[in-house]
Amino acid sequence: MQELDRIWSMLRERNTVVPSIESLFDSDPQRGPRHTRQLGELRIDFSRHPLDDQSWSLLLQLAESRDLTQGIERLLAGDKVNISEGRAALHTALRSPSIAGRTGVSADIEAARARMYDFARALRSGTWQGATGESITDVVNIGIGGSDLGPRLVVQAMSGGDGPRLHFLSNIDGAAVHQITQSLNPATTLFCITSKSFGTRETLTNARTAAAWLGESLGLEQSQLAAHFVAVSANVQRAAEFGIAPDRVLPMWDWVGGRYSLWSAVGFPIAVALGPDRFDQLLQGAELVDVHFGSTELTDNIPVLMGLLGIWHRNVAGIPGYCVVPYDERLTRLPNYLQQLDMESLGKSVDVSGQPLAQPSGTLCWGGTGTDGQHAFFQWLHQGTDPMPVEFIAARTPDHPHQEHHRQLLANLFGQATALMQGRSLEQTRAKLLDDGKSPQQAELLAPHSTFPGNRPSTIIMLERLTASALGSLLALYEHRVFVQSWVWNLNAYDQWGVELGKTLANRVEDQMQGDRSQPTEPSLTHWLDYVESGA
Ligand code: F6P
């Protein structure tokens, strides 16, 4: 403990020593390449952060004194790192045959994947027919959180899927199911009900509404609609009780966390949209990062470096968030996906033994695509009072013929990263305004408004090209970074008890809204329930 305290206090001291990020480049022109790493199809530039070699070395000491290497070994060996639920977190086994072999889950994974691929092939080839004998043209995934965000992100990112059209229904809001069903032909639509627990209210309500819509539209009994449903669940029993034939249920397991599950049968919509070969490529991209994570020294271990950088910003610089900005329209959903991965995993206040955490943990993860964000929230990033690290993500090679667009896109990314780092001082701004023809008085007045503090950190992650394997690598990188932070903070990244209370209360309020006032209504809610009721 004393050793840890010593490292933390030296880290905090370091934070006061480095004058600016730019000064680090001044003293080392090779800083850019020196702090840029290549991992498969990803290139990651850590140079635009206010860390000199000593700061990095202290962060690595922190990792060593937390015995991070042992932590990584335990994760990848299938130890029950999810302490509060007594489970392993074996999402890596889903993409790494050697981990699956070592942990004894190969047979389960292979059997489930073979069935998933059979289903996907039947749908893609048109041999899967609905109740009226027509081929399925549209597949709707009904699921929420980890049963939605991953497949939705990948399907959108890999646009140009050549299978049936994919749709995603997650929100309980009836507007969502209404909108989707209005655009579909029931005879050629298949619903995939994805829920690890098969107990999530949103998903079950949407699934029931979808089933009723199918039955009414086709004039068929529910028992005649089996060909229009598939389920993905760790609870086959509940799926069967819901009415899905067991041979239409693709299994997953309690050793896969929802937000880590796109590699399992939860990825069924991906396999349908892209085909088994590209699903395999996604897995291979992730496996490459798993192998790197499990076999590389901490000093060169990229998820470790990313995690430690996050620790620096959270605990040393005291910044409680980071902003993810993909300069790629296909990755619009990435910030949402990372939000669940990071915030549901790390938004905890107690350590693995239930004691208050020694350090603040968990960070706000937010963002949006560039260049759109430049015309919205970038003002805050550049001139707001709070610094916020930005993670820029882009593909080096585009998949469209519009080279000029791509050049401008990347120029914007680099320009923004540089502007955040360099800023513009009051004197520089004043001189520029005079150069632009402003009078000395005008320049004096305008200069403070056009000044940029600079010294704002950012990371650039560039993919060779947005392929399935590069995307797999990118997502695995973020997963492991979350693990690194959880280990240093000594918290459990694989439970999510914080979502329970609101769910329980929503159920109680719903009963009250249906007229069961046997439970006393919350005084703070009574007037709202009366108001809603009066409009019903
Ligand atoms: O409410 C949170 C949560 O449990 C997430 O962790 C999970 O991804 C989501 O709900 C959906 O759960 P399920 O797959 O069991 O329907």
Cβ of 145 below 6 Å from ligand 1: yes
Mutation choice for ligand 1 from 499, 504, 505, CB with most ligand atoms inside 8 A: 499
Task: Give the number of the atom of ligand 1 that is nearest the alpha carbon of residue 258.
Answer: 8
Cβ of 200 below 6 Å from ligand 1: yes
Cβ of 147 below 6 Å from ligand 1: yes
Which residue's CA is minimally distant from atom 16 of ligand 1?
195
Task: Give the number of the atom of ligand 1 that is nearest the alpha carbon of residue 496.
Answer: 6
For residue 532, the CA-to-ligand 1 centroid distance in Å is: 28
- Note if 438 is an active site residue: no
For residue 144, the CA-to-ligand 1 centroid distance in Å is: 6
Which residue's CA is minimally distant from atom 6 of ligand 1?
258
Cβ of 506 below 6 Å from ligand 1: no
Which residue's CA is minimally distant from atom 8 of ligand 1?
146
Q: Which two tokens stand for residue 197?
A: 């627990």
- How many degrees, rounded to 5, is the angle at CA 326 between CA 297 and CA 407? 105
Report strand pairing: 229-233 vs 189-194.
Answer: parallel
Cβ of 47 below 6 Å from ligand 1: no
Active-site pick, 202, 287, 344, 391:
344
8 A C-beta contact, residue 397 and residue 43: no
Name the residue with tokens 């480049």: 25
Q: What is the spatial distance between Cα 316 and Cα 319, in angstroms, rounded to a whole number?
A: 8
- State the DSSP string of 13-58: HHHTT---HHHHHHH-TTHHHHTEEEETTEEEE--SSS--HHHHHH
Q: Could you give the 3-state DSSP secondary structure of residue 284?
A: helix
- Note if 432 is an active site residue: no
Cβ of 258 below 6 Å from ligand 1: yes
For residue 499, the CA-to-ligand 1 centroid distance in Å is: 9
Per-residue pLDDT of the chain (536 residues; tens, 9 = 90+): 689 999 999 999 999 998 899 999 999 999 999 999 999 999 999 999 999 999 999 999 999 999 999 999 999 999 999 999 999 999 999 999 999 999 999 999 999 999 999 999 999 999 999 999 999 999 999 999 999 999 999 999 997 668 899 999 999 999 999 999 999 999 999 999 999 999 999 999 999 999 999 999 999 998 999 999 999 999 999 999 999 999 999 999 999 999 999 999 999 999 999 999 999 999 999 999 999 999 999 999 999 999 999 999 999 999 999 999 999 999 999 999 999 999 999 999 999 999 999 999 999 999 999 999 999 999 999 999 999 999 999 999 999 999 999 999 999 999 999 999 999 999 999 999 999 999 999 999 999 999 999 999 999 999 999 999 999 999 999 999 999 999 999 999 999 999 999 988 998 888 888 887 777 778 899 899 889 988 87
Active-site pick, 375, 400, 404, 449:
375
**Could you tell me if residue 134 is left (phi over 0), alpha (psi between -120 and 50 degrees) or otherwise beta?**
beta
Cβ of 151 below 6 Å from ligand 1: no
- Note if 3 is an active site residue: no
